[in-house]
Amino acid sequence: MIENMIDIHSHLIPNIDDGSDTLEESLTLLKMAADDGITRMVLTPHIHLGRYINTRTSIQFEYTKLKRAVADKGINIELAFAAEVRLDSEIIALVEEKDIPLFGPYDNKQYLLLELPHGHIPVGTTRLIEYLISLNIVPIIAHPERNRELLKAPVKITQIARSGCLFQITAGSIVGKFGAKCEALAIEYLEQGFAFAVATDAHNVKHRPPILSDARRRVVKLLGESIAQDLFYNNPNKISRMLFD
Ligand SMILES: [Fe+2]
């Protein structure tokens, strides 16, 4: 077993987004993560205006119940929470009201897991990223390798990267769970050095399980142990350390 990996992207708080449906399912998934060698997990429910209306307060309420159940069951995994925020101009108001749970602080900055729509990169994306950075909030773009516009034109990631954001690659993409094209793009972005972290984006047992070890083994083969350690532990630890008490 590979020990000591930190997952910064998952949907395991029951019944507040399209992730786990029940407390039982969440406990099964968290046990699965612990057995895979994940020692710390940041739970990141969707904040998607018009679809998943979560806030810092509502997430914390459900998170606290889950955390108690995990302790009662004796599952050996440390938990914290943040959110995955769908890109939308209205998130500026939520950020300014401090109603979005962020990662950090690290290096005097906070970090926001930002989700693009799956089909395209909206006009104004880089402007929004630059605005967030001006507030000392660095966006981490979730799974760019799954975005259809980037799949068609991978080089477009350089324009986004120039605005100063970071990128999270999904473990399942690296091992082919989302098809050959996503796999190839995940590997390409890893080799080009765009990835800041690899995470599970776990939703359920079947299609998106909380497993990092197989992707880590592949990254070790491709890029070596030191880069794997950065992507699966060191970088996730930098931005999440302050969230775990
Ligand atoms: Fe996600």
pLDDT confidence tier of residue 49, bands split at 50, 70 and 90 = confident
Output the CA 111–ligand 1 centroid distance in Å: 15
- How confident is the model at residue 207, as a pLDDT? 87
- How confident is the model at residue 3, as a pLDDT? 72
Output the CA 155–ligand 1 centroid distance in Å: 23
Output the CA 137–ligand 1 centroid distance in Å: 19
| Beta-carbon neighbours within 5 Å of ion ligand 1 | 84, 201
Output the CA 203–ligand 1 centroid distance in Å: 8
pLDDT at 1 over 80: no
Output the CA 242–ligand 1 centroid distance in Å: 21
Alpha carbon separation from 142 to 9, 89, 183 (Å, rounded):
8, 17, 15
- How confident is the model at residue 91, as a pLDDT? 86
pLDDT confidence tier of residue 141, bands split at 50, 70 and 90 = very high
Q: Which domain holds residue 97?
A: 5-243
Output the CA 107–ligand 1 centroid distance in Å: 25
Output the CA 166–ligand 1 centroid distance in Å: 16
- How confident is the model at residue 173, as a pLDDT? 98
62-80 pLDDT, tens digit each = 999 999 999 999 999 999 9
pLDDT at 245 over 90: no
What does the alpha-carbon distance between residue 67 and residue 81 come to, in Å, rounded to a whole number?
Answer: 10
pLDDT at 151 over 90: yes
Q: What is the CATH number of the domain that holds 177?
A: 3.20.20.140
Torsion of CA 33, 110, 44, 66, to 10 degrees: 80
What is the number of structural domains in the chain? 1
Output the CA 144–ligand 1 centroid distance in Å: 12
Higher pLDDT, 119 or 91: 119
pLDDT at 19 over 90: yes
Output the CA 136–ligand 1 centroid distance in Å: 23
pLDDT at 2 over 70: no
185-240 pLDDT, tens digit each = 999 999 999 999 999 999 999 889 999 999 999 999 999 999 999 999 999 999 99
pLDDT confidence tier of residue 89, bands split at 50, 70 and 90 = confident
Span 152-181, average pLDDT? 97
pLDDT at 155 over 80: yes
Contact residues for 200 (Cβ-Cβ < 8 A; gap 6+): 7, 9, 10, 33, 38, 170, 171, 172, 208, 209, 210, 211, 212
